[in-house]
């Protein structure tokens, strides 16, 4: 069994919930906040049989496309953004590329329901 921990942009959370439910996956949603942008996101805990991991990951990929995020007040992250601006090909100041989902996959020793 595997545990998927997926930090998802808030705007995709309900679509992902629907897609997972349609496919019979169980999920728990937690309200979370990104450490850098300090904006709300949603963290999904999805326990899946190992054989269904790829299907669950494909579902996340299909429903959570990456996007550029423009944020007015990035002064708290000024240093990091200046360094990005100094490197061609990276984001301009005031904008960062935010993944649709940041996904971690963990091994689960046991799942028990009582």
**What does the binding site for ligand 2BA look like in residue numbers (CB under 6 A)?**
7, 34-37, 39, 41, 80, 96-99, 102
Q: Judged by CB, which is closer to ligand 2BA: 1, or 7? A: 7
95: β partners: 70
CA distance 31 to 29: 7
Q: Judged by CB, which is closer to ligand 2BA: 7, or 105? A: 7
Q: Judged by CB, which is closer to ligand 2BA: 1, or 5? A: 5
Q: How buried is residue 101: exposed, middle or buried, by Cβ count under 10 Å (0-12/13-18/19+)?
A: buried
Q: Judged by CB, which is closer to ligand 2BA: 49, or 65? A: 65
Q: What are phi and psi of 7, to 5 degrees?
A: -90, 115
* Residue whose C-alpha is closest to residue 42's, from 56, 58, 28, 25: 28
Residue of this chain nearest to ligand 2BA (CB atom): 34
CB of 80 to ligand 2BA, least distance (A): 3
CB of 76 to ligand 2BA, least distance (A): 11
């Amino acid at each position: 069994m595997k545990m998927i921990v997926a930090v998802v942009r808030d705007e995709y959370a309900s679509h992902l919930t629907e897609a997972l439910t349609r496919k019979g996956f169980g999920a728990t949603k937690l309200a979370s906040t990104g450490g850098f942008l300090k904006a709300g996101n949603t963290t999904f805990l999805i326990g899946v049989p190992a054989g269904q991991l790829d299907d669950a990951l494909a579902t996340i990929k299909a429903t959570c496309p990456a996007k550029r995020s423009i944020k007015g007040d990035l002064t708290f992250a000024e240093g990091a953004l200046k360094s990005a601006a100094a490197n061609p090909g990276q984001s301009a100041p005031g904008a960062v590329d935010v993944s649709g989902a940041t996904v971690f996959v963990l091994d689960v020793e046991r799942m028990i329901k009582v």
